[in-house]
Amino acid sequence: MIHTGAKPCTCSNCSKSFVCKENLAQHQKVHTGEKPFTCSECDKSFPHYWKFKGAEGVHRGGQRGSTGEGRGGPQERRTEKKEFACLDCGKHFPNKRYLLTHRRVHSEENPFHCPACGQNFEDQQGFLAHQTNPACERPFSCSECGKQFKSKYNSEYHKKIHTENKKYLCPVCGKSFRKQSCFIVHERTHTGEKPYACPECGRCFSQNASLISHQRLHTGEKPFTCLECGRNFTQRISLVVHQRVHSGDRPYKCQECGKGFTQRIGLVQHQRRHTGEKPFTCSECGKSFTLHDSLVKHLRTHTGEKPYICSECGKRFCQSSQLTAHKRFHHVSQHNLEENMPV
C-alpha cells in the first residue's frame, strides 16, 4: 500500500485516511483525548510514545546549559550546526518555530483554543483535527429551528428557508420547496417511483443515498465507528443513536409518565400503552397489535410459515426465540451427553 498510495483506513470523525490500522489508532487519540503513556517521575500523560520519551529526557540526563542567561531568559541556545536546542531536555530542532512548539511539552502551554467547546490544544495539527469532531464541528445554530452548521455562511444560507418563498408546490399534499431537486425527490413519496435499484438483490430506492447505505449490507462496510466502544455501523444516524447509550441522552420524553427514549419510534410505541392504540390489524382474524413485528409473527399462525431452521436437525420454527430454545434444550444437552459417555 505504501507504493500504491492506497489508504484504506479512514477516521470516522474527520475522514482522514491512513495506510494501516496502527496509524489510524494513533490518530484517533486526537479525538478521544486518550493519553496512555504516563511519566513515572511527574505523572504527566502523553498521547504518543515519542512525546513521552522526549519528556522523559527532562528527568534523566537533560541538563541546562550555561549561556549567561538567567532562568527567566530564552529557553534555547544556538548550536554550531545552526540548530536550536531545548535547555530542558537537550533535544535539537532545525528552526526556532519547531523549538517553540516543542517547549509546550515542558510548559504545558495550550495556545490553540476551540471557541465551540472551550478545549485547548498544544499544537495546530491537533486543533485542526479536533474541529472535525462531531461534537464541535457545528458551532453556528439557526434561531428558528435550532439546526447547527459548520460555518456562519452555511448558517446564513439555511436561514433563507424560513424567509424566502418556496416556489415549488406539491399539488398532492401542499408541501412547498425552495429547490426543484428536493421537490422531485418528494414527489416520489406520492408516485411510489424508486429509480435506484440494488444490483445485488434488486431492491429499489427513491434516493441514491438510500441505495448507497443499503449496499453496505452486502459489502459489510461499516464506516462509522463509536470511539467509546469501537462498535461499527453502516449509517451515521445509527452511530448517533448508539452513542446515546454511552451519554445516557434520551431526548424523546413521554408526556404521560416522563419516561425517556433514545429514538422517536421507541416513544411512539410506548405511548400506545397509555392510549391503548393497536394500529396493526390481522386481515385473517381481525386481531390487533401495538407493534408491526407482533402482527408479522401472528400472521405465521395463519400461513404456517416457519422461516427459522435448525442447522443441526433441520427442524423449522415460526419465531427465532423458539429456535434458540430448541438448540439450548435439545442439541446442547445432546452434545454434553455424548462427551460424558465412556469410550
List, in order, residues 6 or more apart from 40 with CB less than 8 Å away.
none
Straight-line distance from the first to the last Cα atom of the chain, in angstroms, rounded to the nearest whole number: 54
Q: What confidence score (pLDDT) does residue 108 get? A: 59
Considering only residues 338 and 311, tell me which one the structure prediction assigns the higher pLDDT: 311
Considering only residues 66 and 293, tell me which one the structure prediction assigns the higher pLDDT: 293
Q: What confidence score (pLDDT) does residue 139 get? A: 64
Residue 44: DSSP 8-state: -
Is the per-residue pLDDT at 149 higher than 70?
yes
Rg from Cα positions in the chain: 30
Convert 304-338 to b/e letters by CB count within 10 Å (16 or more is b): eeeebeeeeeeeebbeeeebeebeeeeeeeeeeee
Q: How many CB atoms lie within 10 A of CB 197?
A: 12
pLDDT range class, residue 124, cuts 50, 70, 90: low
Segment 261-308, tens digit of pLDDT:
888 888 888 998 899 999 989 999 999 998 888 888 899 889 988 888
Segment 181-226, tens digit of pLDDT:
888 888 988 898 999 999 988 899 988 888 888 888 888 888 888 8
Q: What share of the chain in percent tops pLDDT 70? A: 70
Segment 225-254, tens digit of pLDDT:
888 888 898 888 888 888 888 888 888 888
| Helices marked H in 200-328 | 208-219, 236-247, 264-275, 292-303, 320-326
Asked if residue 292 lies in contact with residue 275, where contact means CB atoms within 8 angstroms, the answer is no
Q: What confidence score (pLDDT) does residue 287 get? A: 92
Q: What confidence score (pLDDT) does residue 72 get? A: 39
- Reading the block at residue 301, the C-alpha cell is 399462525
Asked if residue 278 lies in contact with residue 289, where contact means CB atoms within 8 angstroms, the answer is yes
pLDDT range class, residue 82, cuts 50, 70, 90: very low
Residue type present at position 71:
R
Considering only residues 181 and 109, tell me which one the structure prediction assigns the higher pLDDT: 181
